[in-house]
């Protein structure tokens, strides 16, 4: 049972964390919400202003409304908790006390979750918070086995999106002869989609006996995952004169043509050399639209990376080269283990992870990142965490790799 303490404003403190004074944050949020509503109501779309400014206001309005709603729910839970504790102190009927104690336990857990949600909302939002995302998955080292695992990661993210009620839109898919994936791109739209999946970018490593392995040896393969904030047209202005657009016939497994017309589209952004392509749809117009969405998102990522570099801010590499040593996470089948090497998190339930049951793993990652930001940006001490078990030494796994 979590131990909830009280401070003068009646807001619970999750065990171990010093009480957080939320009053000033709530007053600022209430004032800013009024300002945002006024700015949205008086926004002038017809004066040549960038309509992206309205979308920014809208995202801020949603975040502030959510913050204040969370605050109200937390206050309600705290009041109910106080009332039930008073009953525990005044009542003597054992059966009734059991019911009240169960309610207290549930309210403590609810208050704990609400405080963490509130803390996540008072931290200054990340630049891309509230945006939808585009996920790109590609096999790296390991040949056909890497393509097969890329397909499994694709299914894993689709299942996770379905469980969270997020909208999925397939943008591009190229499959291999054995049912693996050469490349796949898809968009995810929904609440907190960026918050939970922005840390998935990087090299994912799999260690197992491939279906193509006759001698029963364990191989190591890698897949790269890139999570891009989806850019709107108002975020990135693309000059049509700076584009080279080529059309070709879409290709299926084995290289065979799957269409009799030149419906696939490849777009090259001449100033940067970025190349995107789409052959998902039978319509050339639709493939061009998808390719432009991919291009804008990559250009937005590039622009933000350049801004970060100018400010000397730390920025994790999104993908790397795909070498086996550059892993962020390992999926070890013989040990039924998933280890996130950045955060020292290990979960022994690989089958459920691949079925999209990512809640526990990603919640731990989001919580660690939140504590880091609370400490560095707001000087709020993080709640103590259980000592993490040592990360298994992959070099000692006695693995035979390709």
216-232 pLDDT per residue, tens: 788 899 999 999 888 87
Query: CATH number of the domain at 133-377, out of 1.10.1520.10, 3.90.226.10, 3.30.70.1660, 3.30.450.20?
Result: 3.30.70.1660
The Cα–Cα gap between 181 and 327 comes to: 20
For residue 4, give the DSSP letter: -
Confidence (pLDDT) at 117? 85
53, 44 contact by CB (below 8 A): no
Measure the CA angle with vertex 355, ends 161 and 1; round to 5°: 85
Q: What is the mean pLDDT of the chain?
A: 80
The Cα–Cα gap between 119 and 367 comes to: 10
219, 143 contact by CB (below 8 A): no
Where along the chain do its domains lie? 23-122, 133-377
Q: What ranges in 91-192 are assigned the alpha helix state H?
A: 94-122, 144-163
Confidence (pLDDT) at 4? 30
User: pTM for this one?
Assistant: 0.72
Host H or E run for residue 181: strand 181-189
Task: Report residue 369 as tokens.
Answer: 């990142």
- Give the mean model confidence (pLDDT) for residues 206-219: 80
Give residue-wise pLDDT tens across range 242-259: 889 888 876 655 445 555
- Nearest of 149, 215, 162 to residue 188 by alpha carbon: 162
397-to-209, 332, 375, 378 alpha-carbon distances in Å: 14, 10, 36, 41
- Give the mean model confidence (pLDDT) for residues 23-33: 89
Percent share of the chain, pLDDT over 90: 34
- Nearest of 126, 236, 122, 112 to residue 192 by alpha carbon: 126
* 264, β-bridge pairs: 248
């Amino acid at each position: 049972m979590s131990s909830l303490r009280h401070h003068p404003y009646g807001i619970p403190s999750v065990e171990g964390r010093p009480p957080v004074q939320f009053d000033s944050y709530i007053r600022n949020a209430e004032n800013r919400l009024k300002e945002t509503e006024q700015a949205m109501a008086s926004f002038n779309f017809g004066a040549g202003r960038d309509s992206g400014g309205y979308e920014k206001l809208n995202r801020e309005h949603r975040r502030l409304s959510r913050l204040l709603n969370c605050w109200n729910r937390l206050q309600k839970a705290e009041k109910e908790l106080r009332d039930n504790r008073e009953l525990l102190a005044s009542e003597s009927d054992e059966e009734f006390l059991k019911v009240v104690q169960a309610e207290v336990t549930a309210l403590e857990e609810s208050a704990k979750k609400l405080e963490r949600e509130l803390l996540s909302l008072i931290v200054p939002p990340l630049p891309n918070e509230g945006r939808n995302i585009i996920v790109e998955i590609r096999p790296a080292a390991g040949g056909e086995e890497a393509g097969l695992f890329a397909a499994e990661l694709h299914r894993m993210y689709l299942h996770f999106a379905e469980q969270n009620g997020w909208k999925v839109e397939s943008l591009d898919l190229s499959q291999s002869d054995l049912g693996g994936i050469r490349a796949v791109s898809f968009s995810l739209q929904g609440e907190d989609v960026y918050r939970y999946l922005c840390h998935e970018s990087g090299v994912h490593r799999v260690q197992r006996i491939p279906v193509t392995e006759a001698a029963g040896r364990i191989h190591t393969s890698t897949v790269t995952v890139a999570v891009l904030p989806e850019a709107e047209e108002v975020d990135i202005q693309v000059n049509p004169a700076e584009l080279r657009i080529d059309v070709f016939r879409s290709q299926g497994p084995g290289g065979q043509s799957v269409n009799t017309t030149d419906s696939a589209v490849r777009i090259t952004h001449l100033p940067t050399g970025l190349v995107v392509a789409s052959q998902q749809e039978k319509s050339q117009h639709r493939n061009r639209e998808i390719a432009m969405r991919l291009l804008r998102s990559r250009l937005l990522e590039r622009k933000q990376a350049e801004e970060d570099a100018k400010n000397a801010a730390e920025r994790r590499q999104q993908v790397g080269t795909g070498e086996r040593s550059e892993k962020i996470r390992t999926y070890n089948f013989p040990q039924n283990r998933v280890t996130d090497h950045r955060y020292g998190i290990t979960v022994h339930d690989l089958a459920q992870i691949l079925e999209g049951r990512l809640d526990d793993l990603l919640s731990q990652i989001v919580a660690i990142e939140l504590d880091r930001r609370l400490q560095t940006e707001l000087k709020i001490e993080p709640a103590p965490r259980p000592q993490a078990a040592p990360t298994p030494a992959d070099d000692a796994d006695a693995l035979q790799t390709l």
